[in-house]
Structure 1
Amino acid sequence: MARMHTRRRGSSGSDKPATDENPEWSDVDAEDIESRVVELAEQGHDPSVIGIKLRDEGVKGVPVPDVKLATGKKVTEILEEHDAEPDLPEDLRNLLARAVRLREHMAENGQDYQNKRALQNTESKIRRLADYYRGDELAEDFTYTYENAAELLEE
């Protein structure tokens, strides 16, 4: 797949193993996994970090290689069921944080043209994602501005 803002092709990534059942060595109860997911979300972790922590630390010392295979639900679905989902989608929050950092850098370093271009690309991605999420996860009248982004990240 090609990258959005370059002329190069993307590098291939790793694929998950083609299996449809949880390994027998990871016999953690689905309810324990769900309670651990909610606990990690309340500590302020994003869904991707929750998956990594479950893979590495596990539940009660037993690693969970794949939450969806073990519980039948994705991490975000578990969070929605327990009303613990984040206020912004993780990908949009990360892009907003990057744009705020770049904008602050550009205020101090006005001649940094590479970062000016990076800021333009990041803001373009934010607008595209905002169109995708508008109405569901975002308010219908949401428009991206630096002030909006800084305010959303402070919450």
Structure 2
Amino acid sequence: MARMHTRRRGSSGSDKPAADEPPEWSDVDEDAIEERVVELAEEGHDPSVIGMKLRDEGVKGTPIPDIKLATGKKVTEILEENGADGDLPTDLRNLMERAIRLREHMAENPQDHQNKRALQNTEAKIRRLADYYRGDELDEDFTYSYEMAAELLEE
């Protein structure tokens, strides 16, 4: 499969080792893991960062190599159950942050044509994702604009 905005192909990544149950050395209670996930989300961390923090720091000093194996739920499912998920999907939020950074860069460097193209590509991705999420996770009348994105992410 080719990449979205170039004709090149992507490189394959590595797979996680197959495992059916968490390792014996990581015997933390499911409730403690869920509490820590919600706590990290309230501090403002994204689900991917929460997973890395639990892998590195763990709960009460014991690392959690795989949250789904330990709890039977993904990080996003835990956040949804506890009402700690954000108002925007993570991928859309990250693209909006990138578009804002690119727009600010373009204001300072108007002759940077390469980043002008990157901004166009990023905003096109945002519009496609907004079409995908519209109605379910976004309002029916949601339309992307720089001003709206800056206001949403400022909160």
Instruction: Please tell me the TM-score bracket, short chain as reference.
Output: over 0.9
Give 1:109 shift.
1.3
Write the letter of the residue equivalent to 1:130.
A
Measure the CA separation in 2 of the matches of 1:154 and 1:139: 19
Q: Which residue of 1 aligns with 2:135?
A: 135
Q: Which runs of 5+ in 1 are unaligned?
A: none
Q: Which residue of 2 aligns with 1:152?
A: 152
Measure the CA separation in 2 of the matches of 1:109 and 1:117: 13
Give 1:51 shift.
0.3
Measure the CA separation in 1 of the matches of 2:76 and 2:42: 13
Kindly tell me the number of residue pairs found equivalent between the two proteins: 155
Identify the range of structure 1 (18-27 vs 121-130) with the bigger mean alpha-carbon deviation: 18-27
Write the letter of the residue equivalent to 1:76.
T
Q: Which residue of 2 aligns with 1:36?
A: 36
Write the letter of the residue equivalent to 1:142.
F
Give 1:28 shift.
0.7
Sequence identity of aligned pairs in percent? 84
Identify the range of structure 1 (123-132 vs 13-22) with the bigger mean alpha-carbon deviation: 13-22
Give 1:22 shift.
1.1
Matches for 1:1-155 after TM superposition, within 5 Å: 1-155=1-155
TM-score by length of 2: 0.97
SS of alignment partner, residue 104 of structure 1: helix
Identify the range of structure 1 (21-30 vs 48-57) with the bigger mean alpha-carbon deviation: 21-30
Measure the CA separation in 2 of the matches of 1:53 and 1:136: 29
- How well do the aligned residues superpose, as a CA RMSD in angstroms? 0.9
Measure the CA separation in 1 of the matches of 2:139 and 2:147: 16
Q: Deviations over 1:57-115 (max 9, x none)?
A: 00111110111110000001101111111111111111001101111111121111000
* TM superposition outliers: structure 1 runs of 4+ over 4 Å: none
Q: Deviations over 1:120-147 (max 9, x none)?
A: 1100110111111111211111011111
Write the letter of the residue equivalent to 1:74.
K
Give 1:17 shift.
1.2
SS of alignment partner, residue 45 of structure 1: coil
TM-score by length of 1: 0.97
